Amino acid sequence: MTTTAAPVGSPEARGPGLRERFAQNVTLVLAARWALVLVATGVAFWNTLVAVATEMRVQTIITYLPAVLVLVLIAATGISWRRGLERPIHDRQSDVIVGVVLLLISVTVKVLTLRYEDAYLVSHVDLLALWIFVLGCCCLVFGLRPVARYRWAWFLLLMIFPVPYRLEVLLMRGGPVAAGIVMVAFGAAAVGVASARTVRRGLVGAAIAGIGGTVGLVALQVLWSDARLWVYQTVPAVVAALAACAVLYVDRRRQSHMSWTPLGREKYPPAVSRVGRPGLVIAAAAAIMALIPIPDYGNYSNQRIDGLDTRPPMVVPSGWVAGEYRQYEWVSRLYGRGAVMGGQDLYQSRGSYEFDKFARPRKVVVNSIESSRPVTFEVYPIIFVYDLVGDRFSELEEVELPHGVTGFLQTVVDDANYLTYNRIGWEWSNGETTARVTITSVDNHEADAPFPSPEPTVARNMNTFLTVLFRGNSVISDLEPQFKDRDLLVDCATDLINAQVDAIGDR
């Protein structure tokens, strides 16, 4: 008698396990890897993202970033939809080497952010570090060749580094319309990349997006001229880009008689089969970068005095004689709509041997900027208001002034003209608007002595920015400051503050 045992199923006969089924689902694999990249980026740059969110909340020019991300996504989607088969040649060792090197560079660049404490919000070097970090992560989890396939989308993503955008907008005299024009041009470039199945088709797509965005921008200016800055930056560019892509998509599908599904093909699996150890490298790099601080921001001393009139010109105190007054409307390009700057020449009513060896009445220049958005004073610090390119600055020295106001004393050395300026500044508000006041003196006591003249110098200051990047802060630092006019400036600041506060009861 023969007994036949029931066959025991082999592992292969049982079908794929959970891990195998997950690996076979291309959508889940891609989603998991992008989740790893995005979560690691959020951890590594949590403080940067908080700073950006703070700026966006108060509506600075950084509100262009969401539109950039949408337009880059459009460009990357277009590249994906026209991707064809390629040879399965991948060098995993090269992927890892390039990815790790990029992560190390990202760490270095984020550390360099600490060099730009006075111009952190205007430069945001940490956003450049973020771009490098994401690029390195993608090399590790997707491979070098797939990342290179999207090179034009990566190039467009560099727009998150705000320095070029700020320069372009300010060189066009600033304002919402200028900000919108730059974004419309960027949107046209993104559509050109998305639709560039051929050069001609890419140019057609860019032209449609550019013309549509321009028309939308004109309509917005005519119908809703007081719209928020982010509306000018986002709506014309993004709507025109989506419309252009829709037109070209329909045209392509009708001509080629292809499937109307977006890809028109099956999804290709990622070139990199596993990301175990590289994933651990990404997690470690994110943890390290999360510990790297960014410069302090939003810690300005903003003393509130109810009823204070922050609008220049300031009330001239007793003991001082008013000279010429000048108003600079262009500061609204930096500090928002309604911002205004006034410059006043003040002279001592009587000279003193304490401040001049001939007892001549000393002259100081008082500049006051009023804005409803005080954070913009940190986005564009004082060096962007004057032409001080090439000058050296001392560290700020804190000075206690009346009515709880904190002043900051500093020297500025002009080596080209052999002049040294002393200045004291402070910020105060009435709860609705904020003023930044700066009083400047010069060590040349002649009547025709030159004082720094307010003018927009953002473009020229980029040269100083690059110099500091490569040579350090020492090239623009006055390491041995001489506060010869300390008492003069403190006395003037005290008289001005008291005069403004006393004027509250007179109104």
| pLDDT tens per residue, range 149-163 | 899 999 999 999 998
Say which DSSP state 436 is in: E
Rounded CA gap, 9 and 188, in Å? Answer: 60
SS3 string, 27-53, reads HHHHHHHHHHHHHHHHHHCHHHHHHHH
pLDDT-derived band at 488, boundaries 50, 70, 90: very high
Q: Which of 49-58, 311-320, 385-394 has the lowest mean pLDDT?
A: 385-394
Rounded CA gap, 409 and 397, in Å? Answer: 5
Angle between helices 276-290 and 92-112 (to 10 degrees): 0
At residue 3, the pLDDT reads 47
At residue 1, the pLDDT reads 39
pLDDT-derived band at 507, boundaries 50, 70, 90: low
The answer, yes or no, to whether residue 119 has pLDDT greater than 50, is yes
At residue 30, the pLDDT reads 84
Instruction: Answer for the pair 231, 64: CB distance below 8 angstroms, yes or no.
Output: no
Alpha helices in 143-228 (DSSP H): 144-149, 151-157, 162-171, 176-194, 199-223
In the chain, what percentage of residues exceed pLDDT 90?
43
Q: Which long-range contacts (CB under 8 A, 24 or more apart) does 187-190 make?
A: 187/67, 187/71, 187/213, 187/236, 187/237, 187/238, 187/240, 187/241, 188/213, 188/240, 188/241, 189/156, 190/71, 190/72, 190/74, 190/75, 190/156, 190/241
Of 380 and 463, the one with more pLDDT: 380
Selection from 92-96, 206-210, 474-478 with the highest mean pLDDT: 206-210
Structure tokens at 84: 């064809």
Rounded CA gap, 446 and 463, in Å? Answer: 32
Residue 423, helix vs strand vs coil: strand
Task: Give the residue-averaged pLDDT of 332-358.
Answer: 88
At residue 415, the pLDDT reads 79
Instruction: Answer for the pair 368, 342: CB distance below 8 angstroms, yes or no.
Output: yes
The answer, yes or no, to whether residue 394 has pLDDT greater than 50, is yes
At residue 279, the pLDDT reads 86
At residue 474, the pLDDT reads 57
Rounded CA gap, 57 and 47, in Å? Answer: 15
Task: Give the residue-averaged pLDDT of 199-216.
Answer: 93
The answer, yes or no, to whether residue 6 has pLDDT greater than 50, is no
Rounded CA gap, 388 and 377, in Å? Answer: 17
Selection from 222-236, 268-282, 328-342 with the highest mean pLDDT: 222-236
The answer, yes or no, to whether residue 463 has pLDDT greater than 80, is no
The answer, yes or no, to whether residue 9 has pLDDT greater than 60, is no
pLDDT-derived band at 498, boundaries 50, 70, 90: very high
At residue 335, the pLDDT reads 85
Upstream peptide bond of 313 is cis (omega within 30 degrees of 0): yes
The answer, yes or no, to whether residue 199 has pLDDT greater than 50, is yes
Mean pLDDT across the chain, nearest whole number?
84
Q: Which of 7-16, 187-196, 226-235 has the lowest mean pLDDT?
A: 7-16
Q: Which of 35-44, 262-271, 480-489 has the lowest mean pLDDT?
A: 262-271
* Widest distance between CA atoms in the chain: 132
What sign does the dihedral 61-63-64-65 (CA atoms) show? positive
Task: Give the residue-averaged pLDDT of 80-88.
Answer: 70
Q: Which of 44-48, 248-252, 281-285 has the lowest mean pLDDT?
A: 248-252
Angle between helices 65-81 and 176-194 (to 10 degrees): 10
The answer, yes or no, to whether residue 2 has pLDDT greater than 50, is no
Structure tokens at 295: 């410069």
At residue 86, the pLDDT reads 61
- Degrees, nearest 5: CA angle 88-94-99: 115
pLDDT-derived band at 67, boundaries 50, 70, 90: very high
Q: How many CB atoms lie within 10 A of CB 351?
A: 15
The answer, yes or no, to whether residue 256 has pLDDT greater than 70, is no
In the chain, what percentage of residues exceed pLDDT 70?
84
**Global confidence as pTM:** 0.83
Task: Give the residue-averaged pLDDT of 317-343.
Answer: 88
Rounded CA gap, 211 and 214, in Å? Answer: 5
How many helices and strands in the chain, by DSSP H and E? 18, 9
At residue 88, the pLDDT reads 65
The answer, yes or no, to whether residue 388 has pLDDT greater than 80, is no
- The residues pairing with 321 across neighbouring beta strands, listed in sequence order, are 347
- The residues pairing with 439 across neighbouring beta strands, listed in sequence order, are 366, 424
SS3 helix, strand, coil % of the chain, rounded to 5? Answer: 55, 15, 30
Rounded CA gap, 150 and 73, in Å? Answer: 11
